[in-house]
Amino acid sequence: MVASVVDGVAVRGVVGCIPEGRESQADLIARFGEEAAVKIAKATGIEARHRVEPDQCASDLAERAAGHLLNGMGWDAASVDLLVFVTQTPDYALPGNGALLHQRLGLRKAVPVLDLTQGCSGFVYGLWTASVLLKSIGRRALLIVGDTTSRFIDPMDRAVAPLFGDAVAAIALECSPDAGAMAFDLGSDGAGAPYLTVEGGAMRRPSVPPRLFMDGTQVFAFTLREVPGSVRAALSGAGWGVGDIDHLVLHQANAQMIHHLAQKLGATPEQTVVALAEVGNTSSASIPLALCLALSSLLTTRSRRLLLSGFGVGWSWGSVALTLGPLALCETLVLPGRNNPAEFAASATDAE
């Protein structure tokens, strides 16, 4: 069932940001051996991941992405009416990252700030939340999504260490009477909570550092069980079939999962976006980052029909069918390390 159809709100620009620190296949070979590392890369499609330095946080990636987005769009900070920050890895237990970014960007005191802790479905949930709120309070919004998951990774845990990378994306939203409708489908199943966790709060054991636990078999089964129905519901809400979309952009968890889902949905390889080889699974940033890495030249020159779907921790899932573009900005930046002042943009290969 379609949870919501939102019209009158347009995505104007997307900027992704990854940290300069990079873990390569050679690093995995050194830890796990060549045979295991090659097998993991073949199954997941992931060759490298970017990781923050010890003194870098999600807010640092967000500040760089959002600042570049505002400058590139020609938006004054005073014109922003809403800030929504989606992350599972906030800098502090409190305050939320939204308050930190509000201050760094110099937003007005009248701007509401909302922090969400959604995981891999966070981009779609955040897009829905920000769009619905924006229609009632103003004209322009910033949506920030992403995590520094490496903080919770045991480097010797081959179930998660080869998969997750750090990234944040900033998305510019604007109310517009000629914006097309976005058809959302959202869902949750709390029975999946034990299968993808990081201990914290009352469950935190002081003597044990917080570590990410993932039952990959359960994740895969959940994805194949719930995601196809969500995608079809969002398509139905838009009045489309799979053949009507230009691109299917699923949460970039691993290549094998993406291909299985695409096949089950009847999407062609040409429609299906896979853009995780050099960045890994970047949680809630994975969908907007995939747009920047794989579709930048297309989305900045023309409009495209897209189906976007995120899914994971909770369980939770969210899909949206929308027409996107032409965007004023769609690119990926690199946040330099503290000891490297050089500024440079990430290279990206467009998938036509």
Residue of 57, 97, 251, 254 marked active site: 251
CA–CA separation, 298 vs 313, rounded Å?
Answer: 31
- Residue 347: predicted pLDDT: 36
- Residue 337: predicted pLDDT: 87
Q: Is the pLDDT of residue 50 over 80?
A: yes
Do 182-324 and 4-180+329-335 fall under one CATH topology? yes
How many percent of the chain have pLDDT more than 70? 93
Strand-pair category, 196-198 with 212-214: antiparallel
Residue 247 catalytic? no
- Residue 206: predicted pLDDT: 64
Residue of 17, 102, 254, 281 marked active site: 281
Confidence band, pLDDT 50/70/90 cuts, at residue 12: very high
Residue 339 catalytic? no
- CA dihedral defined by 282, 313, 272, 49, rounded to 10 degrees? 20
State the CATH architecture for 182-324: 3-Layer(aba) Sandwich (3.40)
Nearest to 310 by CA among 302, 318, 322: 318
Structure tokens at 44: 């997941």
For the chain, report the end-to-end CA distance as a whole number of angstroms.
Answer: 32
Q: Give the residue extent of every domain in the chain.
A: 4-180+329-335, 182-324
Fold for domain 4-180+329-335? Peroxisomal Thiolase; Chain A, domain 1 (3.40.47)
Residue of 120, 247, 254, 292 marked active site: 120
**CA neighbours closer than 13 Å in the CB half-sphere of residue 222:** 24
What's the pLDDT tens digit per position in 204-233?
Answer: 566 667 899 999 999 999 999 999 999 999
Higher pLDDT, residue 286 or 158: 286
Chain centre distance of CA 107: 23
CA–CA separation, 144 vs 141, rounded Å?
Answer: 10
Contact 292, 348 (CB under 8 A): yes
CA–CA separation, 305 vs 321, rounded Å?
Answer: 8
Structure tokens at 144: 């920030």
Nearest to 294 by CA among 330, 244, 258: 330
- Identify whether 315 is preceded by a cis peptide bond (ω within 30 of 0): yes
- Residue 344: predicted pLDDT: 36
What's the pLDDT tens digit per position in 110-166?
Answer: 999 999 999 999 999 999 999 999 999 999 999 999 999 999 999 999 999 999 999
